[in-house]
Amino acid sequence: MSDIKEAVREKYGQMARQAESGEKACCDTVTANLYADAELAGIPEAAANASLGCGNPTMLAQLHEGETVLDLGSGGGIDVLLSASRVGPTGKAYGLDMTDEMLALARENQRQAGVRNVEFLKGEIENIPLPDAAVDVIISNCVINLSADKGRVLREAFRVLKPGGRFAVSDIVHRGDPIPDALRKNIEAWIGCVAGALEESEYRSLLSQAGFKDVDVEPTREHEAGFFSAFVRARKAASS
């Protein structure tokens, strides 16, 4: 697990430096055409360059004025900045990332965008540095698949959500024959969001085990045989 984490940290630090230099950090079919031009109009170029997601969770989550949002694995900050705009000045958007280079890039993007209702936190998605029941909505964009302990990530997400809170992420899922062990053990394939993908049924099961209700997994784009971008939704029950 530590090997995977360090490999991810190193690779995404490299991508942050690439985005900061003016290059697109990743341009394959997984990350292409995820945001409308109007959404990108107020976003710094480096934030768009560092967009490494597989969907647009800020639209999926249907954010509302005054809500508090947490983005797991916030990278260069594009989804945090978009969320901040949607929740307005009475709301707040947190970004959580473990990579120093990505955090530095995200904070610079926040400064350039002039957005105040944002805070970027350093930490791991398996150990979220926020108290219980702190946020209304959790989003994430092609990051949970990178974790070697997804069950813990989902339990932490449940913990920090308020009663009635929503989980709305974009992620890579797998359908079909089991992923071969050789691929699971391939660090480069893991970093590339393939080897760490959960089977759809396991994703559903882990969300339910964490306590979530109304679990839904909606594949949106196939990348190679059996691997899909997907919208993953669930909610935390309101207090009784």
Domain CATH code at residue 224: 3.40.50.150
Looking at residues 131-137, what average pLDDT do you find? Answer: 98
Count of domains forming the chain = 1
Q: What pLDDT does 187 receive?
A: 45
Q: 165 lies in a domain?
A: yes
At 38, the pLDDT band (50, 70, 90 cuts) reads low
Q: 142 lies in a domain?
A: yes
Looking at residues 90-102, what average pLDDT do you find? Answer: 95
Q: 181 lies in a domain?
A: yes
Token pair of 117 as six digits = 């209702």
Looking at residues 44-59, what average pLDDT do you find? Answer: 71
Looking at residues 22-36, what average pLDDT do you find? Answer: 53
Q: What pLDDT does 27 receive?
A: 42
Q: 161 lies in a domain?
A: yes
Q: What is the DSSP string of 47-110?
A: HHHT---SS-HHHHTT--TT-EEEEES-TTSHHHHHHHHHH-TTSEEEEEES-HHHHHHHHHHH
CA angle 149, 154, 159 (to 5 degrees): 125
Segments forming the whole domain that contains residue 179: 2-235
Q: 240 lies in a domain?
A: no
Query: Are 94 and 68 a contacting pair, CB within 8 Å?
Result: yes
Q: 41 lies in a domain?
A: yes
Looking at residues 36-59, what average pLDDT do you find? Answer: 70
Token pair of 36 as six digits = 């409308």
Q: 87 lies in a domain?
A: yes
Q: 24 lies in a domain?
A: yes
> What are the distances in angstroms from CA 68 to CA 80, 92, 139?
11, 5, 11
Phi, psi of 22 (to 5 degrees): 105, 0
